[in-house]
Structure 1
Amino acid sequence: MQILSIASGKGGVGKSLVAANLSIALAKAGKKVVLADLDLGGSNLHLILGNRIPEKGIGTLLNKPFTTIDEIIYETDYKNLLFIPGEAELPGAANISATQKKKLIRKLLTLDADYLIADLGAGTSFNTMDMFLLSGQGLIVTTPTLTATLNAYLFLKNAVFRIMSASFPRKSPAFQYLESLRKDGESLQKVFIPRLVENIKKIDPESHALYEERIKSLQPRLILNMLEDPKDANKAGKLRHSCREYLGINLDHLGVMYRDELQTVALNSRLPIVSYKPQSVLSQAIFRIADKILEQENDLAPRPLTFDESETSFQIAELEAETDFNSKMQSLEELLDCGALTQGDLIDTIKSQQFELNMLRRENRFLKNQFVKNNKRK
């Protein structure tokens, strides 16, 4: 079974949309898929799938000793796809203990499936990090906005630190060195990881060797969602550069997805977009991402991604952004020609997009001003 942990540095980037629709796409390809809602405390994946509110979920499994995992697995309307709900209404579900986390991981690893797709909560809690690191090839979903890409970078930085913490025995020189940095929160936040790793190599070669072996398994894959324009795809290049230069990892780009108002219509209809309109630009992008995952499925112990391979994946994504934009424009022209979309509808859509762009510009100006103020203080 291959595990696809789907995470994001912040909420509202379409992570659950990706998880639900990607699960269906892989199931349609003949793969046996289990989709698990691990956004504990904020579970809503059943709404995207169109399922009714489940009676039992992961909260039941963790809090009622005699519950088996088979009792919380539900069939869906889609062949080959099973669903494990998170049960958001259970008090304290988001704050599970280390013992409960280990129990949950053990149960999940017993599942009989080709793919386990885990929709994780946003943010960088230890529970989210550990679930993400179950899969070395976890998916990080973000959008072209500055805050979203920054949070995606910080998420991956925290993943690297989590691997470090697990690699250094508690009484080792490496652990003590990391703890001394951790006590000074500012130092740890600004630390240059490649230099940190070099320092650890000097003071604790044994711990360094264990870290180097474990970090090889971290091969995160990017999905850039909610594009408005082909130029948006270029913004992911900064994230790739930061991951390579400051974290020492190469990022693989799985693909881009444009913002589509049909997604809202599909959600209101209690249908995933790949079922509501399979031929839409958004649906085709999801199927394309699924195809890339299927191409890589035989690589159970992936080798570290090279710089050239990472660069190529980003170049391909930029080409896909151009292609999808042209398809989107063609679809709009066809809707205008056949009368399904009036000029008034088109004007309203453009006005809405202009409003969103203005909001993003204001956010960008605010962040720049904060950056300048912080630099002046230093």
Structure 2
Amino acid sequence: MAAPGPAAGLWTIGGGKGGVGKSLIASNMGVLLSKSGHRVLLVDADLGASNLHTFLGMDGGRLSLSSFLNNKVAEIADLVSKTSIPNLDLISGARDSLDIADAGSDKIEKLKAALGTLDYDYILMDVGPGTASNMLDLFLSGDEGILVTTPEPTSIENTYRFIKCLILRRMRNVINSHGDLELKGLLKRIFENPEWSLKVKTVADIIRHLKELDSERGETLRRLMGDTSISVVVNFVRRQEDEALGAAVSRACQDYFGVDIRAAGYIASEDCVAESIRLRRPLVNEYPSSRAAASIEACLNGVIGPRARRATKAGA
């Protein structure tokens, strides 16, 4: 595996549909990073279907994430459990009574701030599926987002819906956090203008029309929207033609949404994947020579590589 660049902080792993393999990817990427000598924390924030502990052969534990979000535990560090793998820890979501989709934005901000106090090289957070505003905010809270999909038509459809909602939510958050009332007013003019609203189909269209009204604010919005870093991973790939699906999703996002979502790679579907889950052991440890394990490592490098290049460029 290529050596990671600077510590990436918080990675969020999510998608538009359940059952696409987020926990498989989060757990095995965490194992690979820890085996490279990095201190890694896995956070199970898919509270409605928490199962990260199962992939690591662990029980759920007495305390879980909602204990902190509901103020039953004061320090998030008290939720951290050691795994059997050196350098890899876990905050479980098992036995949670709180669905994070129902949690207020204040709880999400509290979680993000608390995770920032922990001393890890990488924090990988498994986020629940769907387009509820809080789920979108949780996904966007990371320094890097990994979007998981599968070749199934319903999964692809939900992925595009998730990306569209994600972009609009990101724009809303950027505008609100910027606190520029004039910018809000200009965007309102764009969306309420019948002629322009018919032409606005992508983020690039919005920014172009905004620049026509105010070039400085248009450039500000373009720069702030460009800070979002997202990769797509296609899981359960059986056919050769599906191996290029991630690149197709990336191109479609650029063409129709005007945003850059990188294709990190695909994960081969093999019987050993289901067997590793049945055994409650990480795939990359139990079947390290399998195509599936190799493709997870390739996807990890597909995320790390662009981050390292951006960090090098920023420091130049």
Question: Does the alignment reach a TM-score above 0.5?
Answer: yes
CA distance in 2, matches of 1:4, 1:28: 18
Give the deviation of 1:141 after TM superposition: 1.0
Match of 1:286 in 2: 296
Distance 1:264 1:58 in 2: 27
Please list the CA deviations of residues 184-220 of structure 1 after superposition, one character each: whole Å capped at 9, or x if unmatched. Answer: 9xx89x9443323222333454543332111121231
Does the aligned pair in 1 maintain the 2:100–2:134 contact within 8 Å? no
Question: Any unmatched runs of 5+ in structure 1?
Answer: 305-378
1:351 corresponds to which residue?
Answer: none
Question: Quick one: structure 1 residues 159 and 136, their matched pair in 2 at CA, closer, same or farther if it must change by over 3 Å?
Answer: farther
How far is the alpha carbon of 1:177 from its aligned partner?
4.2
Instruction: State the one-letter code of the partner of 2:112.
Output: I
* Distance (Å, rounded) in 2 between the aligned partners of 1:238 and 1:299: 23
Shift of 1:137: 3.0
Is this contact kept in 1: 2:101–2:135, CA < 8 A?
A: no
Residue 166 of structure 2 corresponds to which residue in structure 1? 159
Does residue 217 of the first structure (1) align with residue 213 of the second (2)? no
2:134 to 127, 139, 163: 127
CA positional deviation for 1:91: 4.0
Identify the range of structure 1 (209-218 vs 13-22) with the bigger mean alpha-carbon deviation.
Answer: 209-218
Q: Give the aligned residue type for 1:197.
A: I
Aligned pair count reads: 299
Alpha-carbon distance between aligned partners in 1 of 2:211 and 2:283, rounded to the nearest angstrom = 49
Query: Identity of paired residues, percent?
Result: 27
Equivalence map 1:163-242=2 (5 Å):
163-168=170-175, 169=179, 171=181, 172-177=184-189, 191-242=201-252
Is structure 2 residue 181 aligned with structure 1 residue 141? no
Measured in 2, the distance between the counterparts of 1:60 and 1:231 equals: 45
* d(CA) in 1 for partners of 2:100, 2:258: 34
Compute the displacement of 1:290 (Å).
Answer: 2.9
Task: Please state how far the C-alpha of 1:176 moved relative to its aligned partner.
Answer: 2.9
> Which residue number in structure 2 is paired with residue 31 of structure 1?
38
2:127 is the alignment partner of 1:115: no
Distance 1:94 1:5, change over 3 A: same
Distance 1:129 1:174, change over 3 A: farther
Q: Deviations along 1:350-372, whole A, 9 cap, x unmatched?
A: xxxxxxxxxxxxxxxxxxxxxxx
Gaps of 5+ in 2: 1-6
CA deviations 1:67-101 (Å, max 9, x no partner) are 21111011001110010112443145441112111
- Give the TM-score taking structure 2 as reference length: 0.85
CA contact (8 A) 1:124 1:158 kept: yes
Write the deviation string for residues 106-138 of structure 1: whole angstroms up to 9, x where unpaired.
101111111010111111222222222223431
Going from structure 1 to structure 2, the CA distance change for 1:178 and 1:132 (only over 3 Å counts) comes to farther
Contact 2:45/2:100 (8 A) holds in 1:
no
What are the within-5 Å matches in structure 2 for residues 1-378 of structure 1?
A: 1-2=7-8, 3-64=10-71, 66-168=73-175, 169=179, 171=181, 172-177=184-189, 191-296=201-306, 298-299=308-309, 301=311
Query: Residues 43 and 178 (structure 1 numbering): CA distance in 2 closer, same or farther, change over 3 Å?
Result: farther
**Shift in CA distance, 164/295, structure 1 to aligned 2, threshold 3 Å:** closer
- Alignment CA distance shift 1:161-1:284 (3 Å): same
Contact 1:139 1:222 in 2 (8 A): yes
| One-letter code aligned to 1:46 | H
Look up the SS of the partner of 2:102 in the other structure. coil
Secondary structure at the aligned position of 1:149 is classed as helix
CA distance in 2, matches of 1:249, 1:149: 17
Q: Would the aligned equivalents of 1:144 and 1:233 in 2 still touch at CA under 8 Å?
A: no
1:200-258 Cα distance to aligned partner (Å, 9 max, x none): 33345454333211112123112111111111123334312211112212232211111
- Bigger CA radius of gyration: 1
CA distance in 2: counterparts of 1:88 and 1:193, whole angstroms: 40
Give 4+ residue runs of structure 1 displaced > 6 Å after superposition.
none
Are the counterparts in 1 of residues 203 and 259 from structure 2 also a CA contact under 8 Å?
A: no
Which amino acid letter does the alignment assign opposite residue 281 of structure 1?
Answer: R
Q: Pick closer, same or farther for the CA change 1:250–1:41 going to 2, 3 Å.
A: same
> Greater CA deviation, 201-210 or 32-41?
201-210
Q: Which has the higher contact order (CA 8 A, sep 6+)?
A: 2
Asked whether the 8 Å contact 1:194–1:246 carries over to 2, the reply is no
Let me know the Cα RMSD of the aligned residues. 2.6
DSSP-derived class of the 1:60 partner: helix
Q: 2:188 is matched by which residue type in structure 1?
A: Q
102-111 vs 138-147, which deviates more? 138-147
Checking the alignment, whether the CA contact within 8 Å between 2:101 and 2:134 is kept in structure 1 is no
3-state SS in 2 of match to 1:51? coil
